Structure 1
Amino acid sequence: MHVRTFSHRPHRSRPAALLAALVTCAALTACAGPEPSSATSPPAASAPASSAPAPTATDEPPASAPTEVTIPSLKIRSSLMRLGLNADGTVEVPPAEKAMTAGWYSGGSAPGAPGPAVLIGHNDTRFGRAVFHDLKDIRKGAEVLVRGGDGKSLRFTVTGKETVSKQAFPTERVYGATKGSTLRLVTCDGAFDAEGHPVDNLIVYAEPG
């Protein structure tokens, strides 16, 4: 930008429109350069976001919404704001003025429920260093704790990470359905383009336990 147990309602199949919206979510791009940008990469040409209604809320109960993420090895601790979709069907990112606050994509799963829970944070903004600035240093096996609305925490373990071009963002790998609960952390990475925006995304994958 660029655990624990808590009660939750049993997983239900999401409407086809929501699944379509997830598959067409674009890469995170609004990270740190000299000038911040709210622009996002265009959704997949084969399924334009405008063809699928954007979800206005998740079907998870309010208590399932995560409130905080902690990564002890990187000394990262942040409250979580709710993020949805922009009018063009791309995923919202936290505003630049809240660079030290990460967000939870509320159109996906809540942590602990089946499916991917996606947390998004900036690397840097025009205001300087941001919440996920050091995420590139995370190692396999690192612990990630996510606190739910009921105050209980879930523990995830990092299984891998990758840096990808924003022009080839692995939408299905990040937002696609999974049988069990999974966690993804997304931020910006890489060199800057001519407009001062990072050209890559860093994606961290984690599983419960």
Structure 2
Amino acid sequence: MAGVTLLALCSGVWLLRSGTEGHPPPQPAAAEARVDPRAEPPAGAALPPSPPLRIRIPALRVDAALMGLGLTPSGSLDVPPPDRTDLAGWYEAGTTPGETGTAVVAGHVDNADGPSVFYGLGALRRGSTVEVDRRDGRVAVFVVDSVEVYSTERFPDRKVYGAAARPELRVITCGGGYSHATGYRGNVVVFAHLTGSR
């Protein structure tokens, strides 16, 4: 999936038009970045492929249904409907959460009426858990390795979307400041790895 962009998630001029004006979403602290990218903690045993149904991030009180996302004609990741503040999406042509590889979940930070599903994502901390309910009845449990923010111009496609040798998850929303002319200037990205399932 390297090379896919998230422009469709962050370029809408409706973002922050009224609902969260003056109350920008939290941005990741520098302390939440990965300390040593070469020091990967051990991951749990990979699960067989199974589509995800819900994502939960207990530290943020997120509990949202997941819809499948494809690509737009321009090659960017499609997004959930902006009016559905309770919904996130996963890239359904890629890895399913829990299997070996990099699974991708994306959602809006806000819309013209206020905060959306991943409004608080930038406040997440290393060591937090992310749970994904799957169609096979299992819950894939991930732990957060880092929370980072990237500008649109310097978005590291390979780092975010590149193949992984273990089960990993990326949770992505808009961030990095806001411009009334172009929308958000970047993305908040949560990097997590599978620790187990139940």
* Alignment TM class, shorter chain as reference: 0.7 to 0.9
Higher normalized helix content (fraction of residues): 1
Q: For residue 2 of structure 2, what is the aligned residue in structure 1?
A: 23
Contact kept in structure 1, 2:148 and 2:189, CA below 8 Å: yes
Q: Which amino acid aligns with 1:128?
A: G
- Calculate the TM-score normalised by the size of structure 1: 0.73
Contact kept in structure 2, 1:32 and 1:124, CA below 8 Å: no
Change (3 A) 1:28 1:116: farther
CA drift of 1:27 comes to 3.0
Q: For residue 163 of structure 1, what is the aligned residue in structure 2?
A: 149
CA drift of 1:95 comes to 1.5
Q: For residue 140 of structure 1, what is the aligned residue in structure 2?
A: 126
Contact kept in structure 2, 1:28 and 1:93, CA below 8 Å: no
SS at match of 2:191: strand
SS at match of 1:81: strand
Q: Which amino acid aligns with 1:154?
A: A
SS at match of 1:64: coil
Which runs of 5 or more residues in structure 2 are unaligned? 16-47
Higher normalized strand content (fraction of residues): 2
SS at match of 1:97: coil
- Calculate the TM-score normalised by the size of structure 2: 0.77
Contact kept in structure 1, 2:53 and 2:134, CA below 8 Å: yes
Q: Which amino acid aligns with 1:30?
A: L
Q: Which amino acid aligns with 2:158?
A: E
CA drift of 1:94 comes to 1.1
Q: Which amino acid aligns with 2:71?
A: L
CA drift of 1:140 comes to 0.5
CA drift of 1:34 comes to 5.5
Task: Please say if 1:35 is aligned against 2:14.
Answer: yes
Alpha-carbon distance in structure 2 between the residues aligned to 1:28 and 1:100: 21
CA drift of 1:29 comes to 4.7
RMSD: 1.8
Q: Which amino acid aligns with 1:24?
A: G
Alpha-carbon distance in structure 2 between the residues aligned to 1:186 and 1:102: 10
CA drift of 1:91 comes to 0.8
State the identity as a percent: 36
Task: Please say if 1:122 is aligned against 2:108.
Answer: yes
CA drift of 1:194 comes to 3.6
Which runs of 5 or more residues in structure 1 are unaligned? 1-21, 37-60
Segments ≥4 residues shifted beyond 4 Å = none
Q: For residue 189 of structure 1, what is the aligned residue in structure 2?
A: 175
